[in-house]
């Protein structure tokens, strides 16, 4: 009996420490007793999840409903970050998230949607889906809306789709990166980005060319496009785009993702050059662990948490029978300066 009591006490003390409350409060929450503030109760439940304890059946409650979450893939760390943030917020609201991840040759977005509809989901959040592809048929989203399925589209605006949109300000993100590099004395600045069929890419390119012209680094936007290289949103894509930009004499490279930036760093080093002494590199996303690269990557932070909250709020508004605003919600980027950018090399 003493062993059992010891284990229970240890468990309660662990939960109390994690939640920042007393063991008595933890006990009240676990036993479903009244008199505990909602925020405190949520902190204890979060501690259960973090420490790997299964929630008692009386605390699980009935799910408010199912919500589908479709992301393009999990290789790019920013997508798991979005998924985790949105799933956490949905769970706090009592909804059960169903995560659907795509992979080359695997289940398509349309196939996932069909499965989710078959499971009678209350709504679907799309992250960087086909809505961001200017060559894709967007009627699939109108079909969903005609079926009464609320949707929210994240990262990529498509006029004509009857749904809320949540996006980062892509043009502002490259502008702040260019400004940072100009302040360091760079005048040959290149942009490494993904395929130009995607809305975020088109916006980044437009923002980049305007930034170069505004700072006197290009005569006009057409001339500024000579400093843009399109590839894939992968480490290898970053390597390929950076190689072309280095061949053209650029001393600084702005990348459309952190993965591309890591590829750019690899290309710089493969040529016997150093980052940032010879070439400065800026990423985009500020994905988890990116601060621990060598060198720590200067990047433009995508406001994942704020965008996740906005996406869930808009979706729940629709689920509850009200109409969320159809204007696109744009979120301002934040430049995070680390060790991959430095003064332009002399000469």
- Average pLDDT for consecutive 10-residue bins of the chain (347 residues)? 39 85 86 74 80 70 80 88 93 90 86 92 95 94 92 94 96 98 98 97 98 97 97 96 98 97 98 98 93 95 96 95 92 97 91
Backbone dihedral region for residue 52 (phi beyond 0: left; psi -120 to 50: alpha; all else: beta): left
pLDDT computed for residue 41 by the predictor: 79
Radius of gyration of the chain (CA): 24
Whole-prediction pTM: 0.81
What is the per-residue pLDDT for 188?
Answer: 97
Would you kindly state where each structural domain of the chain is located, as residue ranges? 2-60, 65-168+304-331, 170-302
Pull the structure tokens for residue 138.
């967007």
Q: 102: which DSSP letter?
A: -
Q: What is the pLDDT of residue 207?
A: 98
CA distance 274 to 264: 11
Q: Could you say which architecture CATH assigns to the domain 2-60?
A: Orthogonal Bundle (1.10)
Q: Answer yes or no: CATH 3.30.70.60 is held by domain 170-302.
A: no
Q: Is 293 left (phi over 0), alpha (psi -120 to 50) or beta?
A: beta
Distance CA 298, CA 341 (A): 6
Matching fold, domains 65-168+304-331 and 170-302: yes
Reduced to 3 states (helix: H, G, I; strand: E, B; else coil), residue 187 is coil
189: three-class secondary structure by DSSP: strand
Q: Is the peptide bond before 276 cis (omega within 30 degrees of 0)?
A: yes
Residue 3: per-residue pLDDT: 34
pLDDT in the model for residue 53: 78
Q: Give the CATH H-level superfamily of domain 65-168+304-331.
A: Response regulator (3.40.50.2300)
How large is the angle between the packed helices 78-92 and 304-319, nearest 10 degrees? 40
Which H or E run contains 298? strand 298-301
Beta strands in 10-78 (DSSP E): 65-71
Between CA 155 and CA 62 the distance in angstroms is 32
């Amino acid at each position: 009996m003493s062993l059992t009591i010891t284990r229970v006490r240890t468990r309660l003390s662990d939960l109390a420490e994690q939640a920042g409350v007393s063991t008595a409060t933890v006990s009240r929450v676990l036993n479903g007793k009244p008199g505990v503030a909602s925020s405190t109760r949520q902190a204890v439940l979060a501690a259960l999840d973090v420490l790997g304890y299964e929630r008692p059946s009386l605390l699980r409650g009935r799910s408010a409903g199912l919500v589908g979450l479709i992301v393009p893939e999990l290789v790019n760390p920013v997508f798991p970050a979005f998924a985790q943030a949105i799933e956490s917020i949905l769970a706090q609201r009592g909804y059960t998230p169903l995560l659907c991840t795509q992979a080359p040759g695997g289940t398509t977005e349309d196939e996932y949607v069909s499965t989710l509809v078959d499971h009678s989901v209350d709504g679907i959040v799309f992250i960087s889906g086909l809505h961001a592809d200017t060559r894709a048929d967007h009627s699939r989203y109108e079909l969903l809306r005609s079926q009464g399925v609320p949707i929210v589209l994240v990262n990529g605006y498509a006029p004509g789709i009857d749904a809320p949109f949540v996006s980062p300000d892509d043009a502002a993100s490259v502008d702040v990166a260019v400004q940072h590099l100009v302040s360091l004395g760079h005048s040959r600045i290149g942009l490494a980005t993904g395929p130009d069929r995607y809305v975020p890419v088109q916006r980044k390119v437009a923002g980049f060319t305007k930034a170069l012209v505004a700072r006197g680094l290009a005569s006009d936007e057409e001339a500024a496009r000579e400093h843009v290289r399109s590839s894939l949103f992968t480490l290898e894509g970053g390597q390929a785009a950076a190689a072309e930009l280095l061949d053209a004499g650029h001393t600084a490279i702005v990348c459309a993702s952190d993965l591309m930036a890591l590829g750019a760093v690899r290309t710089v080093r493969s040529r016997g050059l150093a980052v940032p002494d010879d070439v400065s590199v800026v990423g985009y996303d500020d994905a988890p662990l990116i601060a621990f690269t060598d060198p720590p990557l200067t990047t433009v932070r995508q406001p994942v948490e704020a965008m996740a909250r906005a996406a869930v709020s808009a979706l729940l508004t629709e689920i509850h029978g009200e109409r969320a605003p159809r204007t696109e919600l744009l979120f301002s980027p934040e430049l995070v300066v680390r060790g991959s950018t430095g003064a332009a090399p002399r000469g």
